[in-house]
Structure formats: C-alpha cells, structure tokens
Amino acid sequence: MQQLQKHKTEIFEKGFTIINDIFSEKEINQIINIIESIDTSKETFRKSEDLFAIRQFLKEVPESHQFIFNDSIKKIINEVFGNDYFVVKSIYFDKPEKSNWYVAYHQDLTISVNKKLDLEGFGPWTTKQNQFAVQPPIEYLKNIFTIRIHLDDTDKNNGALKVVSNSHSKEIYRPETIDWNVETEEICSVKKGGVMIMKPLILHGSNRTVNNKKRRVIHIEFSNLELPKELEWSERLN
C-alpha cells in the first residue's frame, strides 16, 4: 500500500496494475458467505454450467458493502483515482471449476444508465432485462477506473485475465487488428484477497479453466464525471 504512487503510474503507462493483500482471509470469507446466502432466482442473476454472474452486484447485495469498502480500498480510491470518484457499475463473476467458458479480447466500451434516449455522442445502445447500456463519448471511458477484487487465487490455469499492455492508450482498438509483432500479452495472476485495477479501454480477455479451481471476481467501475442532465448512472453509489 505504501507504493500507491508506483501503482498509479503503472495504471496510466500500462493500463493496469496488481496489488495483493488488500483483503484478509476473514474479509474474503465474509464476502463469500454473503454471496452464498442470497436468493439467486432474480433476473439480474445469470446462472449456467459455465458462469454465474450477478449484475448490479452492489445494488443487489448491499450487505457486502461493509466488507468490500474496507480501509485499504478506500485509500486506493482516494489516492489513485481521487476522492470525488463514485461507483458507476458492479458485477460479480463466478467461473466454476469445470468451466469451458473463455472470453475473447475486447475493450469495455459501454456504461450502465437508467434509460434509453436519443443523445448526441451516445450509442450504440443495448438493453438486457430492462437494463440499459450505451457506448458514451470516449472521454467517459478514459476517465473510468475498474477494481477487480479476487476471491480466489487466479492464474493462467483458471482463467486469469490476459491483457495487451498499453493498448488503452490507443483509444478504440479493434481486437482483429492486433499486431502481435509489436504488442505484448501479459497474464494477470492475482492472489486471493488481491485486486487488479485497470482502465476499461485496455484490451483484455481470459482463457478456459484447466485446473479445476474456481475463479470468483467482483468487478467495480468508478468515475467522477457527471452524465448529461437527461441521463443518470444506473448504479451510482457514493
């Protein structure tokens, strides 16, 4: 934690950084116990053999806030992002032990908002189960920081995120145009209780699980930009 300036520099230069030992074993177990005790039949929950996901996680599971926003996470938000940053999106992912699900390289190009409307610079739009997502002007995407909290040890054998270092600096970067003669892929191994912080414009993906170990991650996005007055962040949380 004393090296937060180093991590901040790394995020801007490479598009990501990894900080281990942010949550104790006890805090991680408390978060897992809360997740395991909730009603998973809601429409914001997605359950299959290969994936269990909870959209709008912090809205759906408010009991988790006291354990997620511990002193270490608050310090990271204040010193690396800025004390005016707030939550704009949250998802819980559980990639089960036998999952054959993988994610191709992509950028996170949409934000979650409260409604769909015709607004200059915003589009295309998608709607899933009455939840609205839109690609905003690039300034919004460049401004966002994502924290990924790891509830399990994660490495190349159980679907750790892989990234193209510094690809966030190229703004919109189509995966099919990646030139592997000049680009570098990095596997982001993170220990249980650690976090990965990334910019949503970094190209990232993940491979299938091959070691029969779970990979559970809480993904939270932060911004300090207000949307045009006609629109609201659907998951805003100060």
127 falls within a domain: no
Is 235 a member of any domain?
A: no
At 97, list the tokens. Answer: 């032990």
Within a domain: 121: no
- Structure-token pair, residue 237: 């949380």
pLDDT in tens, 115-170: 999 999 999 999 977 789 999 999 999 999 999 999 999 999 988 999 999 999 99
Is pLDDT larger for residue 51 or for residue 205?
205
Beta-bridge mates of residue 186 = 163
Q: How far is CA 16 from the centre of its chain?
A: 11
Is the confidence at residue 216, as pLDDT, over 80? yes
Instruction: Look at residue 16 and tell me if it is in a domain.
Output: yes
- Residues in Cβ contact with 57 at an 8 Å cutoff, skipping those fewer than 6 apart: 64, 90, 91, 92, 218, 220
* Domain tally, the chain: 1
Residue-level pLDDT at 41: 72
User: Are the C-beta atoms of 136 and 234 separated by less than 8 Å?
Assistant: no
**Contact criterion met (CB below 8 Å) for 136 and 122:** yes
Q: Does a structural domain hold residue 123?
A: no
Which helix (DSSP H) or strand (DSSP E) does residue 222 occupy?
strand 215-223
The answer to whether residue 146 sits within a structural domain is yes
pLDDT score at 3: 87
| In a domain? residue 25 | yes
Tell me the per-residue pLDDT of 34-89, one tens digit each, with 9 for 90 and over: 998 887 776 667 665 555 888 899 999 999 999 999 999 999 999 999 999 999 99
CATH of the domain at 88: 2.60.120.620
Give the list of residues 6+ apart from residue 194 with CB closer than 8 angstroms, or none.
Answer: 18, 19, 20, 21, 22, 23, 150
Q: Look up the domain containing 57 and give its range.
A: 4-109+137-221
Residue among 61, 83, 56, 111 nearest 238 (CA):
83
Let me know the angle formed at the C-alpha of 109 by 68 and 64, rounded to the nearest 5 degrees: 15
Instruction: Determine the straight-line distance between the first and last CA of the chain, rounded to whole angstroms.
Output: 23
Predicted pLDDT at 110: 97
Q: Is residue 32 part of a domain?
A: yes
Whether the full predicted model's pTM is greater than 0.85, yes or no, is yes
Query: Could you report the per-residue pLDDT of 155-178, keeping only the tens digit for each?
Result: 999 889 999 999 999 999 999 999
CA distances to 7, 43, 107, 233 from 113, rounded to whole Å, are 30, 17, 18, 5
Q: Is the pLDDT score of 105 beyond 80? A: yes
3-state secondary structure of 79: helix
Provide the mean pLDDT of the chain: 92
